[in-house]
Structure 1
Amino acid sequence: MSEVVAESYLLSKPESWLDYPFGPEVKVFKVKKKMFATLSLGKGNEKGTDGKMAGFYCMNLKCDPEEAVMLRDIFSSVIPGYHMNRAQWNTIILDGSIPQGEIERMIDNSFLLVVKTMTKKDQQSILVHL
């Protein structure tokens, strides 16, 4: 999945929008005011990643803790969330090794996990569009 396709899919989620609270190099995707994804270009010098992210766009997505571990076991390009709570976030390296449908499923899950933490009123205003 390319960066452009990923960004388009992220922004297709109801009431999602793009923010840059960490500077112009990190795209932060929010639903209402809550972050559900980040997207940035890996430089290769990220501590603890063994250079896996070098030259690839990388996406942080919220994940159920048990599923997060399973996805890391299945896909070598899924690693513990870089600069995130590693139990609840994964970093997906967009190197072409994960099928687009699987990445879309991970994005959908991240979005829904964040929406579930909102008030009932906010949840309903979002979920009615799914």
Structure 2
Amino acid sequence: MNIEEYRGHCISKKGVTESFPFGKLPDVLVFKVLGKMFTATDISNFEAISVKCNPEDVEHLRETYMAVQPPAYMNKKHWNKIMMDHTVPDSLIKKWIDDSYDLVVKNLSILERHKLNES
């Protein structure tokens, strides 16, 4: 997966916006659904992406895939960093992005989910 494929997959989801919200990290591209982050990457090198994960799956994924590691800046109980080293199939990476999006949507308020469904 290259950065264009990553971006295209993320931005195609309902209610998603992209931004560079971290002043001290100007190359970190963040994708959010209704203002809640579900994935991010450094566009200067695209060496890794971060995705939100079900806390019950975090450790299992890290033990199963060498490319899945604890993230540097996010909560290590809820997020994983995936190295974009081509050892994990693109289809699985897309599934993890989808899962991350779904986790965030699931935690939106009823009003926010209604707003998302109407958009």
Q: TM-score, normalised by structure 2?
A: 0.89
Residue in structure 2 matched with residue 26 of structure 1 by the alignment: 28
Matched, 1:103 2:82: no
Sequence identity (%): 33
Unaligned runs of 5+ residues in structure 2 are: none
Residue in structure 1 matched with residue 84 of structure 2 by the alignment: 94
Q: CA RMSD in A?
A: 1.8
Matched, 1:123 2:110: no
Unaligned runs of 5+ residues in structure 1 are: 43-54
Amino acid at match of 2:71: G
Describe the SS at the equivalent of 2:22. coil
**Cα deviations across residues 8-51 of structure 1 (Å, max 9, x unaligned)?**
11111111011111143100101111111101158xxxxxxxxx
Change (3 A) 1:128 1:95: farther
- Give the ranges of 4+ consecutive aligned residues of structure 1 lying more than 2 Å apart after TM superposition: 124-129
TM-fit CA distance, 1:125: 3.7
Amino acid at match of 2:110: K
